[in-house]
Amino acid sequence: MDQRPRRPVSKAIASSELRSQTAWKWALGGAVGLAMIGAAGLVRADGHENVTVTHGYNFFGELGYPDADFPHLNYVNPEAPKGGEISIWAQGTFDSFNPYTLLGNNAALSSIGDEDVLTSFADDPTSVYCLLCETMEYPEDLSWVIFNLRPEVTFSDGRPMTAEDIEFAFNSFMTDGLPSFRAAFGSFIDSVEVLGPHQIRYNFNADSPPRDRISTAGIIGPLHRDWYAENETTVAETRNEPHPGTGPYALESFDFSRQVVYKRNPDYWGNDLNLMQGRSNFDRIRIEYFGDSTAAFEGFKAGTYTFRTENTSRIWATQYNFPAIEDGFVVSEELDNGSLGRMQSFIFNMRREKFADERVREAIRLMFNFNWSNESLFFGLYDRPSSFWEFSDNAASGMPSEGELALLQPLVDEGLLPASILTEEAVVAPSSGARQFDRRNARMAQDLLDEAGWIVNESTGLREKDGETLVVGFLESSPSFDRIINPYVENLRAVGIDAKLERVDPAQEQERARSFDFDMTTMGWSLGYEPSTGLRQWFDGNLKDDTARNLAGVDNPAVNNLIETIVAAESKSEMETAVQALDRVLRSLKFNVPQWQNTKRWVAYWDQYDYPKPLPPLALGQLDFWWYDEDKAQALRDAGAL
């Protein structure tokens, strides 16, 4: 696929990964501000300190939903009917329903039944709101938070959720979770207290960043304590059934590596909750597994599954003309995408000595011809990303601002950054010509490799240094990337680099990525509008061997310094300036080769669904707030289409 999702890695890797595919983004940070006092009451706790009691929480601004009793989310259809089925596809295989371990391969949507104490909304991504709680309480110094839980919350097996289930979840992840999780949460949370059946308190470490304290605690949802005891299992073990969750869906059936079906729980505790109106509308969500994207596309055309998000420009441009579309049975749409940009890239494994020299990395960057690829392979449908925060105020551009200079100058003075960072424009990917092999870029690449000491061996035509050949392998599992990587390989070989495509199956790719056994591979960064401590998982060199998020192995003290400045920011403007400086520094390190990005959403579906218009810019929401239209579905059946 041209636009590919991040390879599957356990969400238990760290706090920033725990629920990254579910309700909200840890990378958004989150926190509280005194602006909230106007939307929530101030009370006295023990007669000593002011305590805010509120349904929602935002650090830098005001809540999008300041009143707790709003009727429904602005972007849903509260009258959307319930019923029907939506089906999607997944690639590869699965053998486990535990998303919180690195063991085995998780089934798609295996955390669908799990809910967090706090959630966020598609039109207010930097705020968090009570989901499993009715209210939260915290003092001005944010030294603790109390979640007052909803007494009506039940697990899918009908048993009630209590504060002890949330305490059990925290203790389970701290005991049986991965070390990076324990490090991340342990640095924030000093202790957990169950104050009553539906009240839990988190006490925070005094030296933890205040901005992320409450959102860190709020990302921990319940684990069914009794179920785990009855089944004598832990979060560290694989299993062939999911634990009961509190969410609106639960497992109905599965066929290993072929199909998974989740069903809507008609007795879901939150059916009448205002923030759930117009959501979770399908009775069933079915996932069909395919060995590769080509087979999956054929399956969609045949009606094996009914909703497809297209990620391949070639298919979108040339193959959405099959009979079901011509007959009006399938709808194909190009929808606006207002989301934060995603820096999809080829990345260098910076743990490898051959990539330590920036000149080598820049030579390799020069030989990827985006312009040719876009016109010849992608039908001119893509743009090239420049920033790790594309389409936001966090992106660096041009020369450093005064605010950036104030942050960068001390790092230059300490010898952590070159002086050029102060006087040069923000790095962008190399430009290239219309032909696959750009001779000008090739000459620059050859000069850089010569300067770095990688000299061409006249007998082999390959570059060597100290008896070692410069070998660059591209780890990839998707066959659709062959047409993209192979021309890149040809260009690299033309300048003397022994480049090769190492195509493996998804399980091998996942295992090799986990163990950092690769030269180059593809990943993307989606870093949030208000990034904070989650940046440590992405870029902190101290954690580079402990988290799969820092797959490139970025290890730079200036980066670490700027991350801490971002974490400590007390205003949105301070945060934005610090993120711009970090973006500028990350781009200057040249540890990635920016690929391409799509500013549209390409979707196709058998014409039995509908959605609110307009859609929120930050979410497609097909499994969340779309719905099944029975009349349209009957028309398809009457026509023999499905």
DSSP codes of every residue in 271-282? TT-GGGTT-S--
Mean pLDDT computed over 324-340: 95
Strand order in the sheet with 471-476: 498-503, 471-476, 520-523, 345-348, 592-594
348 or 11, greater pLDDT: 348
345-594, CATH topology level:
Dipeptide-binding Protein; domain 3 (3.10.105)
Domain 249-338+599-638, classified CATH 3.20.20.140, yes or no: no
Closest of 396, 385, 408, 394 to residue 531, by C-alpha: 394
Per-residue pLDDT of 161-202, as tens digits, reads 999 999 999 999 999 977 767 877 888 999 999 999 999 999
pLDDT at 320 over 60: yes
d(CA 269, CA 150): 10
String of DSSP letters for 401-431: PHHHHHHHHHHHHTTSS-GGGGTSPPP-PPP
| Banded model confidence at residue 4, pLDDT cuts 50, 70, 90 | low
Domain 15-70+114-231, classified CATH 3.10.20.740, yes or no: no
pLDDT at 622 over 60: yes
18 or 636, greater pLDDT: 636
Per-residue pLDDT of 550-582, as tens digits, reads 999 999 999 999 999 999 999 999 999 999 999
Closest of 209, 189, 210, 208 to residue 139, by C-alpha: 210
Mean pLDDT computed over 442-454: 98
Q: Are 262 and 284 in contact (CB under 8 A)?
A: yes
* Phi, psi dihedrals of residue 581, rounded to the nearest 5°: -65, -40
Per-residue pLDDT of 392-409, as tens digits, reads 999 999 999 999 999 999
Per-residue pLDDT of 119-129, as tens digits, reads 999 999 999 99
The whole-number pLDDT of residue 530 equals 92
Per-residue pLDDT of 81-116, as tens digits, reads 999 999 999 998 999 999 888 788 899 999 999 999
Mean pLDDT computed over 502-519: 94
Give the chain's mean pLDDT.
91
pLDDT at 502 over 90: yes
Domain ranges of the chain: 15-70+114-231, 249-338+599-638, 345-594
The whole-number pLDDT of residue 480 equals 87
| Upper half-sphere CA count for residue 424 (Cβ side, 13 Å) | 12
| Banded model confidence at residue 507, pLDDT cuts 50, 70, 90 | confident
Mean pLDDT computed over 237-242: 90
Q: In the numeric block, which tokens belong to residue 5?
A: 């999702």
Q: Are 605 and 282 in contact (CB under 8 A)?
A: no
